[in-house]
Structure 1
Amino acid sequence: MTRRTDVVVVGGGQAGLAAGYHLRRRGLDSVILDAGPAPGGSWQHMWDSLHLFSPAEHSSLPGRLMPAQPGEPYPGAGHVVEYLTDYEKRYDLPVRRDTRVNAVRRDADRLLVEADAGTWRARAVISATGTWSRPFLPAVPGRAAFTGRQVHTVNYRSPADFAGQRVVVVGGGNSGAQIAADLALSGHAEVVWATRRPPRFLPDDIDGRALFDVATARRRALDAGRTDTGGVASLGDIVAVPPVRAARDAGRLTAKPMFARLTATGVRWADGSRSDADAIVWCTGFRPALAHLAPMNLRGPRGRVPTEGTRALDEPRLHLLGYGDWTGPASATLIGVGRTARDAVHAITQLP
């Protein structure tokens, strides 16, 4: 059976909920299809010690401020899951769980959304699947030869899982710094942090509030034809959240240049020296989860769909929400996605 609706949102994490909020305010019939069994999106799967970069009041979706977490200036991932769960219920958003979308196809003046629970025919589709389901592992020489444990950020939970082990953490971004700090401060493991370039810490007083403002200013400058300010990347790569500052200031967060290759028992550095390792934690980022859009053949460079704002250039009925700055400034953040969700829904209301 094929169901009809105005808009199908693919993904029920923070971006999908923000879209659902604005769709409801505009009076559009919609459904949010989410592959997961419970609310919270990728926040359900974060490591135990993860905290937001910003206070709760600066980490909110449209229409509902995130309440503060008692005793925590920067809320933890579990608090975010509770907030998203409450948000979904508060606005009675039409989320269907355990519903995986396999394909989105063109069908005359509509788009067909094919899921394992059936097919929807819609005026427009908002893709909000994020990146968490597509972890990226670099093609490092010897990776297949290493006999120890290899995990990606998506699989990391706690230092206790690495008790007594020699661990190499790979990656110079926020997740690499936070996980290396988590392991180093715990005393459970012997940690080496490897990065492709020297890590760049943002000033200690910079948090998510300032990053959102910087990203927004860059987008406005580009839209106005002014010089690219460089955005957040011009300031640094790593937000110095309290655990990262503590490990750095204690001298326990010093990065080594990336190793040349993996061996069966560890790593070999560029100077030919070797270090034994029991585990590698790959904090090497993600790619957008866009396999459901493959039938429309829209992908451009770097696996992205070319967009103007959130709208796909070659398919105006499709909007991409929350994948990063290429779909709106700070759109992969709680505070940033609301504005781009609003803009996407407004554009959908203008469709013929």
Structure 2
Amino acid sequence: MEHVEVAVIGGWQSGLAAAHALVRSGLKPLVLEASSQAAGSWPRYYDSLTLFSPARFSALPGVPFGGDPDRYPHRDEVVAYLTAYADRLQADIRTGQRVAAVLADGGGFTVELEGGGRLSARVVVAASGSFGRPHHPDLPGLKTFDGQVLHAADYRSPAAFADQRVAVVGAGNSAVQIAAELARESRNTLATRAPVKFARQHLPGRDLHFWLTRTGVDTAPLGRLLRTPPGQPVLDDGRYRAALAAGSPDRRPMFQHLNGNKVTWADGTTERLDALILATGYRPDLPYLAGLGGALDTSGRPRQRDGASPAHPGLAFVGLEWQRSLSSNSLRGVGRDAERTARRLAAHLDRA
């Protein structure tokens, strides 16, 4: 069995930030990435996706984005950035290595890989992030709906929905962005439980992220105040608010029911619906920790405080939504959490 000091599970933004911080702390991480490249889910996101934060606020530690620092990088730019970042890391990164299970083994862990491989690690960082398991809510009548149902994770472009009747469920950034571009090709409704909340992308002379960083709202636990209703608003330079105001797409309260190829809206009207797109977020993708007693709660969510497992001192998390702050699961914030985690793990190994 191969023996390693630190096993980092997940090799995209969270895992790469963790590996960078661990190397800086004098440790030797092995990064295990399930996909074929160190870019995680980014290559599979929809074609028009752009970051909601400018390049200057969206880089991982040590390597800035090239080009105009005030632009909003496209999906493909992010993929190229992450793969280049991985190439520069002084860490062992192995792609095509999906972790099946992590088990306690004396004072450390056994990491079992799909296909039968195994290795031992003194400490483990679960950095598979918050975007590996799309959330499919139990909507009324969804199981009896005959139309196409897909999550935003599987959406690519509006061309596939030309001339169709489509509903997008969700009120976040991705939901509004997808619904607005779909409206160019299809008759489209954004279905939400409450009116969409907007925040101005630009405040006097600066992008909003400048002010979030300057005030500490974006980076410190203070940002958790935004976790409570009404929650995070949709960042907008004016185009999305204008699109909804013009009815392209139109916004309606959540439907009452789906049945066959029909949707019944909150006002009681019924019409044909061809497709339903669920922009309903994600859940932590940590099935490999199910056999590690106390690592997860009964719903499969990690039990952690500031990225540390209370049940297993050698287990840490990086890249979870709201792990410590508003930006914990984003390119712009994951590096700060990774640094804290690396220092804590280095101290743990010194004591062991």
Work out whether the TM-score is over 0.5. Answer: yes
Amino acid at match of 2:147: G
1:278-310 Cα offsets, whole Å, 9 max, x none, are 100011111100100001132226532221211
Partner of 1:101: 99
Query: Contact (CA 8 Å) 1:34, 1:99: kept in 2 or not?
Result: yes
More helix by share: 1
Assess, with a 3 A threshold, how the Cα gap between structure 1 residues 305 and 231 changes in structure 2: closer, same or farther.
closer
Structure 2 residue matching 1:215: 3-state secondary structure: coil
Partner of 1:20: 19
Amino acid at match of 2:29: S
Partner of 1:48: 47
Structure 1 residue matching 2:18: 3-state secondary structure: helix
Amino acid at match of 2:341: A
Report how far residue 179 of structure 1 moved.
0.6
Matches within 5 A, 1:101-180: 101-116=99-114, 118-180=117-179
Structure 1 residue matching 2:20: 3-state secondary structure: helix
Assess, with a 3 A threshold, how the Cα gap between structure 1 residues 193 and 235 changes in structure 2: closer, same or farther.
closer
1:91-148 Cα offsets, whole Å, 9 max, x none, are 2432111100000110111111111262121111000112332111111121121111
Query: Contact (CA 8 Å) 1:307, 1:327: kept in 2 or not?
Result: no
Query: Contact (CA 8 Å) 1:53, 1:207: kept in 2 or not?
Result: no
Q: Distance in 2 between matches of 1:93 and 1:244?
A: 42
Q: Distance in 2 between matches of 1:82 and 1:342?
A: 23
Amino acid at match of 1:112: T
Structure 1 residue matching 2:271: 3-state secondary structure: strand
Partner of 2:219: 216
1:13-39 Cα offsets, whole Å, 9 max, x none, are 100000111122222122100000123
Matches within 5 A, 1:184-333: 184=183, 187-205=184-202, 207-211=208-212, 213-217=216-220, 219=221, 229-230=225-226, 236-240=232-236, 244-245=240-241, 247-248=243-244, 250-297=246-293, 298-300=295-297, 302-333=299-330
More moved, 22-31 vs 54-63: 22-31
Report how far residue 327 of structure 1 moved.
4.8
Amino acid at match of 2:159: A
Q: Distance in 2 between matches of 1:214 and 1:234?
A: 16
Assess, with a 3 A threshold, how the Cα gap between structure 1 residues 65 and 347 changes in structure 2: closer, same or farther.
same
Amino acid at match of 1:283: A
Query: Contact (CA 8 Å) 1:126, 1:321: kept in 2 or not?
Result: yes
Query: Contact (CA 8 Å) 2:200, 2:238: kept in 1 or not?
Result: no
Structure 2 residue matching 1:8: 3-state secondary structure: strand
Task: Extract unaligned runs of 5+ from structure 2.
Answer: none
Query: Contact (CA 8 Å) 1:169, 1:194: kept in 2 or not?
Result: yes
Query: Contact (CA 8 Å) 1:68, 1:75: kept in 2 or not?
Result: no
1:54-92 Cα offsets, whole Å, 9 max, x none, are 11111000001111369x821101000011111111224
Structure 1 residue matching 2:194: 3-state secondary structure: coil
Query: Contact (CA 8 Å) 2:23, 2:90: kept in 1 or not?
Result: no
Q: Distance in 1 between matches of 2:226 and 2:172?
A: 17
What is the number of residues matched between the two proteins? 341
Assess, with a 3 A threshold, how the Cα gap between structure 1 residues 163 and 220 changes in structure 2: closer, same or farther.
closer
Of all paired residues, the percent bearing the same amino acid is 38
Q: Distance in 1 between matches of 2:242 and 2:208?
A: 16
Q: Distance in 2 between matches of 1:158 and 1:260?
A: 27
Q: Distance in 1 between matches of 2:298 and 2:226?
A: 20
Amino acid at match of 2:4: T
Query: Contact (CA 8 Å) 1:57, 1:68: kept in 2 or not?
Result: no
Structure 2 residue matching 1:121: 3-state secondary structure: strand
Query: Contact (CA 8 Å) 2:222, 2:325: kept in 1 or not?
Result: no
Q: Distance in 2 between matches of 1:324 and 1:144?
A: 29
Assess, with a 3 A threshold, how the Cα gap between structure 1 residues 43 and 243 changes in structure 2: closer, same or farther.
farther
Q: Distance in 1 between matches of 2:195 and 2:107?
A: 51
Q: Distance in 1 between matches of 2:243 and 2:222?
A: 36
Matches within 5 A, 1:337-352: 337-351=334-348, 352=352
Amino acid at match of 2:191: A
Structure 2 residue matching 1:316: 3-state secondary structure: coil
